[in-house]
Structure 1
Amino acid sequence: MTDKQKILVVDDDLEMAEVLKDFLTEEGFAVFVANRGSDALKLAEEENFALAITDMKMPQMSGMQLLKKIKNIDPNIEVIMITAFGSIETAIEAVKQGAYHYITKPFKMNEILLTIRKALEKRNLQIENLELRNEIERKYSFFNIIGKSPAMQKVFEMIKVVSQNNSNVVIYGASGTGKELVAKAIHYNGKRKNRPFVPINCTAIPEGLLESELFGHAKGAFTGAVGSKQGLFEKANKGTLFLDEIGDMGLGLQAKLLRVLQDKVIRPVGSLQTINVDVRIIAATNKNLEEEVEKQRFREDLYYRLNVIPIHIPPLNERREDIPLLINHFLKKIEEEQGIKKEISDEAVRVLTTHDWKGNVRELENAIERAVMLSRKNILEPDDFQISESSSGFNFSYFLKQKLPLEDFEKKYIDAVLKEVGGNKQKAAEILGISSRTLYRKEKRYNISNKDKE
């Protein structure tokens, strides 16, 4: 037997409140009554209401004020306003503020029952969609790494296996693909999770300073070394050292790193003493280290020491099916961190999914955050993003995977060609191999607007 859905009735007219309570109780709802706004708020904090019915005009606290406060307690409560004929404008304003609907007095019980059922249906659908989105994110995420594509599922499997041993790992991927997230997932899912995770970007520090940063230095080791300093290897002892962009490390420092991997001992700059270290190395690069070895820019012996287990993260353009998941993840993240809730239209998702993301996941996240911060709309549309469909290009492989009908494919291709030539129909017709008249007919048939292409 399922629990009865709870309804809160708020009306300073005691007789009206009781009539509603009796009627809705007979219809199978659990009904609570409050005759003042303050009493209603107390009940809203104590009970999990699916819906509230409130009179618009009440002493001390109006229905509009109550609406705002109830929504602050639980945004998922649907609210139906009861109003006299003369205050319909106020009721319409209440709908704009988040009320589901309004009923004018006098009303029939069947009328309000129909409105209640529709409101509850909407609420239940929203909750189901939210639960589905959360379930999808749980299923296709791993330590904040999102992906349902076969390539990312393979990465997840590699993380699970690699995290249970101490082998050195090299993570390959373009800038913005999330290499450090993968490194953290390996560390925090493994045996060293309670020990330090120490990251360093090998390109962010000059070669001369990188050695002392990694191995530490003794007092007086060089000009400015007024005291001894612990290196990152020591700080990461018993934990993990993440060497980002290791492909840019100089050959001289590569030799010293190799000795540490072989002997598990470091010697701070300017010191004669050695220090034993137990550190797992996870390296990352956007370069092909095998090619760098052939070009003698990376030591072959270090390559084999590090490249015990390689993990390849695909660029975002090769896993477009993950983009809608990532969009929802970033919108939820912004809502949790900054308290700004936005939704996104299907058309905007389509535009973002076909866009050429050269900066990968990082660029996508920045684009979404920028749109959320600058847009005044509750639902983000394509024009809220500082990208155009022409920059998205016509991605043949993506549309092939979508198994679109021929008409949809033709429409998209014609649209892309028109944008490419700046709306010049003669040039577009030449590229498409059709007459200008045929192009005109197809534009009209597919409702292709030419305003934004010129």
Structure 2
Amino acid sequence: VGKTELAKYLHYTVADASDPFVVVNCASSSDTLFAGALFGADAVGDRGRYQGLIEQSEGGTLFLDEIGDLNPTMQAKLLRVLQERSFKRLGGRQDIDVDFQLISATNRDLRKDVEHGIFREDLFFRLNVVSLDLPPLRKRVEDIIPLGLQTLARHSKDLGKDVTAIDPEARQFLERYSYPGNIRELQNIIERAVIFCRGQTLTSGDLPREVQEMSHSAVNVITQGDQPVVRIEMRLGEHTIGDIENTLSEEVMRVSDFNKSLAAKHLGITRFALDRRLRKQSDL
């Protein structure tokens, strides 16, 4: 599952079907627009009075995605809501009491952000009552096909098609792909493949070119102890040493969460050399 799917599951384990589940992307808009969307307003500008997303989540769940992207001002406002269980709309004077379950998610390391003064420590401890670590899809190969089949069934129905299966070769291609866009990318890949599929079974030829190309350069990431291990299989005669180096650099960047200093250390080269290699790849 992805972050939103997991949040929905947690919501419905304690809530009724009629209870609201409200999703907020904390990185999606400017500060002013975000504050208005979150808190609502009392007769501000042309929109007049309207409920914000916090108010709409009353009695249900508010899911704050990418909470690590909140600026200090919004962090302070959110902390006040959590402490006092009330808030004011923009332009309003009256406190509005609220009762909701809060779930938050982020791709950032909030503990490090707290240490560096980027994220408020008091808000972090308010949020960190129960924490779950959801690894990226590339580290959960066993989830790829079940998620793919779930997405396949949904899009097949939406498109009025009768695609019900994924053939063995296509499954191998999907399991070898690294999914830099995580679950959303898998969903997009399956949706596109369903559109192009002409039968009841999705084949490797229905998959996007980048997924097919990676199959010729199979990259597997496993963990031994605390260290990730990257294994690359490439067909002889189809790739150069440069291709292998490029593939290795890209995969090590991914398993290093795109931290160039860490990736360079894993590769045994300098940060400058890695930058030069990545620039050369981008020019190809």
- If the TM-score is normalised by the length of the shorter chain, which range does it land in? 0.7 to 0.9
The equivalent of 1:391 in structure 2 is 214
The equivalent of 1:320 in structure 2 is 141
Tell me which amino acid in the other structure corresponds to 1:183: A
1:219–1:228 Cα contact (<8 Å) kept: yes
TM-score (norm 1): 0.47
Tell me whether 1:373 sits opposite 2:195 in the alignment. Answer: yes
| CA–CA distance in structure 2, aligned partners of residues 296 and 277 of structure 1 | 29
Long gaps (5+) in structure 2 = 225-231, 244-284
Shift in alpha-carbon separation, 1:355–1:228, aligned structure 2, 3 A: same
| CA–CA distance in structure 2, aligned partners of residues 414 and 364 of structure 1 | 23
The equivalent of 1:232 in structure 2 is 53
Q: How many residues are aligned here? A: 232
Measured after TM superposition, the shift of residue 264 of structure 1 is: 0.6
Tell me whether 1:360 sits opposite 2:182 in the alignment. Answer: yes
Tell me whether 1:250 sits opposite 2:71 in the alignment. Answer: yes
| CA–CA distance in structure 1, aligned partners of residues 51 and 135 of structure 2 | 36
| CA–CA distance in structure 1, aligned partners of residues 112 and 55 of structure 2 | 32
| CA–CA distance in structure 2, aligned partners of residues 199 and 312 of structure 1 | 19
TM-score (norm 2): 0.73
Shift in alpha-carbon separation, 1:282–1:251, aligned structure 2, 3 A: same
Give the 3-state SS of the residue equivalent to 1:312 in structure 2. coil
Matched residues, percent identical?
Answer: 39
Aligned 1:25-424 pairs, distance under 5 A: 145=1, 178-191=2-15, 193-220=17-44, 224-225=45-46, 227-342=48-163, 343-386=165-208, 387-392=210-215, 393-397=217-221, 413=233, 415=235, 418-421=237-240
Measured after TM superposition, the shift of residue 317 of structure 1 is: 1.0
Shift in alpha-carbon separation, 1:195–1:372, aligned structure 2, 3 A: closer
Shift in alpha-carbon separation, 1:183–1:213, aligned structure 2, 3 A: same
| CA–CA distance in structure 1, aligned partners of residues 87 and 118 of structure 2 | 24
1:244–1:283 Cα contact (<8 Å) kept: yes
| CA–CA distance in structure 1, aligned partners of residues 110 and 192 of structure 2 | 35
Q: Deviations over 1:96-142 (max 9, x none)?
A: xxxxxxxxxxxxxxxxxxxxxxxxxxxxxxxxxxxxxxxxxxxxxxx
The equivalent of 1:119 in structure 2 is none
Q: Deviations over 1:346-371 (max 9, x none)?
A: 11111111111111222112112212
Give the 3-state SS of the residue equivalent to 1:420 in structure 2. coil
The equivalent of 1:130 in structure 2 is none
2:26–2:34 Cα contact (<8 Å) kept: yes
1:241–1:281 Cα contact (<8 Å) kept: yes
Tell me which amino acid in the other structure corresponds to 1:199: V
Shift in alpha-carbon separation, 1:414–1:181, aligned structure 2, 3 A: closer
Tell me which amino acid in the other structure corresponds to 1:373: I
Measured after TM superposition, the shift of residue 282 of structure 1 is: 0.9
The equivalent of 1:18 in structure 2 is none
Measured after TM superposition, the shift of residue 388 of structure 1 is: 4.6
| CA–CA distance in structure 1, aligned partners of residues 7 and 214 of structure 2 | 32
The equivalent of 1:451 in structure 2 is none
Measured after TM superposition, the shift of residue 382 of structure 1 is: 1.9
Shift in alpha-carbon separation, 1:191–1:371, aligned structure 2, 3 A: closer
The alignment's C-alpha RMSD in Å is 2.5
The equivalent of 1:83 in structure 2 is none
Tell me which amino acid in the other structure corresponds to 1:356: S
1:192–1:238 Cα contact (<8 Å) kept: no
| CA–CA distance in structure 2, aligned partners of residues 413 and 190 of structure 1 | 46
| CA–CA distance in structure 1, aligned partners of residues 64 and 242 of structure 2 | 49
| CA–CA distance in structure 1, aligned partners of residues 21 and 219 of structure 2 | 39
Tell me which amino acid in the other structure corresponds to 1:207: D
| CA–CA distance in structure 2, aligned partners of residues 200 and 246 of structure 1 | 9
Measured after TM superposition, the shift of residue 413 of structure 1 is: 3.3
| CA–CA distance in structure 1, aligned partners of residues 218 and 88 of structure 2 | 55
- Bigger shift: residues 360-369 or 384-393: 384-393
| CA–CA distance in structure 2, aligned partners of residues 219 and 423 of structure 1 | 62
Tell me which amino acid in the other structure corresponds to 1:265: S
Measured after TM superposition, the shift of residue 389 of structure 1 is: 4.8
Measured after TM superposition, the shift of residue 390 of structure 1 is: 4.3
Shift in alpha-carbon separation, 1:306–1:381, aligned structure 2, 3 A: same
